[in-house]
Structure 1
Amino acid sequence: MNGINGTSGQHGTSASHTPRTPHVVVVGGGISGLAAAHRLTGSGVRVTVLEATDRLGGKLEAGEIAGAPVDLGAESMLARRPEAVALAREVGLGDRLQPPSTATASLWNRGTLTPMPKGHVMGVPGDPSVLGGVLSAEALARMEEDRALPRTEVGDDIAIGAYVAARLGREVVDRLVEPLLGGVYAGDVYRTSLRAAVPALYDAATRHDSLLEGVGEIQRRAAAQQQTGPVFMGIDGGIGVLPGAVADAVRARGGEIRTETPVLGLSRADGHWAVRTEEGVIQADGVVLAAPAWSASALLADASPAASAELQGVEYASMALVTMAFARSEVAGVLPEGSGFLVPPVDGHTIKASTFSSRKWGWVSEHAPDLFVLRTSVGRYGEEEHLHRDDADLVDVSLKDLGAATGLAARPVETRVTRWIGGLPQYPVGHLARVARIREAVAKLPGLRVCGAAYDGVGIPACVGSGQRAADGIAEEILVMPTLVEGTADGTGQ
């Protein structure tokens, strides 16, 4: 490893005053850490990325099934938010960006597949008249009461489920908001923060007595902005190819990336950070912590007990993805149109959603024209017991639910189960206040920033943006402060 055995004592007196490039260690090789490293290598900083596992990308993972390329983790990124799409273009994937082939989906509701209603904000509808096929007559009548009810005070924060149920009734939450927003976080919307997860709705709730009126204002504002182009974007070969492309760009700029290198300790002394690994201690001018909250908590236990305690309180949900490949001829005419369907947990089914990958992504169909690939998701916060089932059992229960929803009776030619343990951080009421306290504590540590899904959003653009902001903050700080002498910059200190 480059510089592992270097010490300050190996250099002469004259070398100790030689100007040199500041060094930043990025802890974590997920998309947040890689985005931070990419930004730093473009700002005149030497970068070392340390990833504990044997691969990069975190929850972005490309794989294959029956010879067909697939995503085994996140499969799309919001295109209306620019960070992730822009990063993909910067690292040479611009010509492989692809929008979904279809934007329609269904809802498996009370045993029937119905088209997903349009005109909602993360499941919160603005017009009750379009929900006749989804909600009961009683629920539709209850929604209309919203316009006459007194304002629901939201204070500093409130759970999405509690607020929407107070305004529109619980059925709207259970049948629409929960399958949509709960799917994003693998969480419980009766715990999820309105302010953190859907800030536009929180803002509307502070200014409108009626939720329906607030949603209408959000929709009118969006229409006035005349946003064009796809809402979501994928990549030919899978979103999972993005981390590798970013890593290649980091290396091309001189950055170093080490996998299977867990960080065992972090301390600050003599104006620099000491990052301890099994191979030795790496000294750095700055550190970007792009690790999950539990790992960041352990590493900050000595340097910032306050930040460590707050990070320890961040909870995570686990889930599994069951990917299946069928002979296309055996599913033709069976599955409904569109990209798949969502499942309200209130109906008691095991799967939470199914994505028809071969129909949603043109590149899947192009690479495997004789196959039909789909996947189901199982598990969310509070329902991790499903993940203890063996792979065959998860496949069987997925096939059972798929059969009940669509009539599918074919057996897959190949299956693959991917478990994401601790996959998604939860954003309960008060999450933003917790993040503010973490950042306030971290701000007292020179040359250190935190980033990742646990802070400002779980989507890929949010994670990329989080890493880039951390990189910008580090670069601005260390490029104007005195740096280490050359002897301690390039390797380990004693």
Structure 2
Amino acid sequence: MLDVIVIGGGVAGLVAARECAHLGLNVLVLEAADVVGGAVAGHEVAGLPLDAGAESFAVRGNTVAAFVANLGLADQIVEPNPTGAWLHLPPLRSGGAPMSVPLPKAGVLGIPGSPLADDVRRAIGWSGALRAYADRLMPVLKIGREHSLGELVQKRMGSKVLDRLVNPVAGGVYATNAVDLEVDVVAPGLNRTLTTAGSLSGAVTAMRIAAPAGSAVRGLRGGMHRLVDTLVEDLERFDVEIRTGTAVASFRPVDTSTVAEDGTDTPVRSWLIECAPAAEAPATVAPAAFPTTDAVAPTAFPATDADAPIPAEPFTLEARHVILAVPAASALALLAPLGAEYADLAALDWPAPAAVELATLVLDAPALDAQPRGTGVLVAVGTPGVTAKALTHITAKWEWIDALTPQGQHVVRLSYGRAGAPVPTLDLSDDEFMHLAVRDAAAILGVDLAPEQVRGFARTLWSDGLSPATIGAPERIRQVRDVIEGTPGLDVTGGWLSGTGLASVIPDALAAGIRARRAVLDL
């Protein structure tokens, strides 16, 4: 019998497995995909080692930096180019052309702290700025709190701030509309500060003053996928087996007992896990992933036991403790057969999972040497001539990538798919998708680009993201955690519970690992 089985080989699963293995527990990781890493994955495009998934981490709480340092990568942490992002927006007046402007800097989630500042007026015009400034004159509700970020912004500052500033940021960070985001999740403390400051812009200014100086994100030299490489290497040193291409069809507890020398019976719970090759597994069982600005399906990371044969028939494993580290749909489907209270979790009012497809282009484009749109661009809904919702100019954002490319060669990545709508690229062939991405990149960056300039192209799809920041999510998550906490020998972790990004995922996975090892060592 194994001590711990971790179901899901994304970052959450690997981090939890490491926490158990470092205390000498016998740990096995099961991953349905043929690679590990989840949304922190890498791929090679035109000979360049690039991030296919998340390419940065939030610095809040210093949790990721501390974990990275513990892995021996502290000296590999790098800052992005501070020039910042831009916005690509519909024309302010009917009949005008789309416009590109720098994202206003003195804001939180696109909400301006200074509504009449030049960079705000460039994005929303004088009428929008004056409407936003009226927030300073409006009374603040003293009782209760706001739930919807979008409704709060619309009420206090008007539709131009919402549509042209806040929604592009919400779509880029949380893959959903601002109206669906829970204020207390995406902007903790905003409700309280709004009451004390007397206006939304005043609250934003106060929060920015209180925030630590410096970049809000950092990365790793060589790419964030190095985090997964290093985790796998560390797990190998502690004899953790990782089985890829192995899906879990079901699992259930088995209660037995052991008899001590004095004849006393001690109850023991273990878990039986029914496994199968991934091709035979239920469609709901998907690779581990979590929402992130640039989340994708896993790509090329070898399993630690790549040479070990995977059984062709279903088989059963047994463990004292199970850590479930898969996306929401997969987790809820596996939990439902355990009993009525588990099945009720799947019946909660979960939003539809977000889906995003990414296009990575390596271009011979000297015109981009000038970094015409900073480190990237967020595209507002309704901007004519563009299908993508965002673009990251990778070589402008990260010096380490720029150093790998010859003069005039650039890497850009475009994101497709908005909340509540089908991903517009799914039915396109690779060639059709590449041509669309080139056209969009040209429009967004304001330069002439042609398919003949493409030296490499890759597409990646992520289709099982469930944002933990939507309205009602805190209560749904609380109900899940309450049920799991009452289940001996079981833990659940992952971005759909912990929050968006590594700064939320890693601490939650560490906590799950700590609980698992304590439970096993107390047996």
**So what's the TM-score if we normalise by structure 1?**
0.87
State the structure with bigger RCO (CA 8 A, min sep 6), 1 or 2: 1
From 55, 78, 84, the counterpart of 2:35: 55
1:403 and 1:116 map into 2 onto residues whose CA distance is 19
1:286 and 1:176 map into 2 onto residues whose CA distance is 46
Q: CA deviation at 1:207?
A: 4.8
2:71 and 2:64 map into 1 onto residues whose CA distance is 11
Distance 1:307 1:206, change over 3 A: farther
> Do 1:330 and 1:410's aligned partners in 2 also have CA atoms closer than 8 Å?
no
Aligned-partner SS, 2:252: strand
Aligned-partner SS, 2:189: helix
2:495 and 2:227 map into 1 onto residues whose CA distance is 17
From 100, 109, 122, the counterpart of 1:113: 100
> Do 2:365 and 2:449's aligned partners in 1 also have CA atoms closer than 8 Å?
no
Question: Which residue does 1:288 correspond to in 2?
Answer: 323
- Whether 1:329 and 2:366 are equivalent positions in the alignment is yes
- Whether 1:374 and 2:412 are equivalent positions in the alignment is yes
> Do 1:50 and 1:257's aligned partners in 2 also have CA atoms closer than 8 Å?
yes
Question: Which residue does 2:502 correspond to in 1?
Answer: 460
Determine what percentage of the aligned residue pairs are the same residue: 30
User: Is 128-137 or 152-161 further displaced after alignment?
Assistant: 152-161
Q: CA deviation at 1:66?
A: 1.0
- Whether 1:403 and 2:442 are equivalent positions in the alignment is yes
Aligned-partner SS, 1:269: strand
Q: CA deviation at 1:186?
A: 1.1
User: Is 67-76 or 234-243 further displaced after alignment?
Assistant: 234-243
> Do 2:183 and 2:190's aligned partners in 1 also have CA atoms closer than 8 Å?
yes
- Whether 1:355 and 2:392 are equivalent positions in the alignment is yes
For 1:260-271, list aligned pairs within 5 A.
260-270=245-255, 271=269
Question: Which residue does 1:275 correspond to in 2?
Answer: 273
> Do 2:42 and 2:49's aligned partners in 1 also have CA atoms closer than 8 Å?
yes
Unaligned runs of 5+ in 1: 4-21, 483-494
Unaligned runs of 5+ in 2: 92-97, 256-268, 277-313
Distance 1:295 1:365, change over 3 A: same
Question: Which residue does 1:339 correspond to in 2?
Answer: 375
For 1:5-404, list aligned pairs within 5 A.
23-109=3-89, 110=91, 111-130=98-117, 131-152=120-141, 155=144, 158-205=147-194, 207-222=196-211, 227-270=212-255, 271-278=269-276, 279-311=314-346, 313-329=350-366, 331-333=368-370, 335-348=371-384, 349-370=386-407, 371-390=409-428, 391-404=430-443
Question: Which residue does 1:432 correspond to in 2?
Answer: 474
> Do 1:114 and 1:134's aligned partners in 2 also have CA atoms closer than 8 Å?
yes
Distance 1:255 1:327, change over 3 A: same
> Do 2:85 and 2:376's aligned partners in 1 also have CA atoms closer than 8 Å?
yes
1:202 and 1:392 map into 2 onto residues whose CA distance is 48
Distance 1:154 1:237, change over 3 A: farther
Count of aligned pairs: 456
> Do 2:394 and 2:411's aligned partners in 1 also have CA atoms closer than 8 Å?
yes
**So what's the TM-score if we normalise by structure 2?**
0.82
Distance 1:173 1:457, change over 3 A: same
Distance 1:37 1:310, change over 3 A: same
- Give CA-to-partner distance per residue, 1:321-378, whole Å, 9 cap, x none: 1111111436444x50521211111425311111111111112122222421111111
- Give CA-to-partner distance per residue, 1:419-471, whole Å, 9 cap, x none: 11224536321100100011111111102111111012111121111111111
> Do 1:192 and 1:426's aligned partners in 2 also have CA atoms closer than 8 Å?
no
- Give the RMSD, CA atoms, in angstroms: 2.2
Question: Which residue does 1:478 correspond to in 2?
Answer: 520
Distance 1:265 1:281, change over 3 A: same
Distance 1:330 1:143, change over 3 A: closer
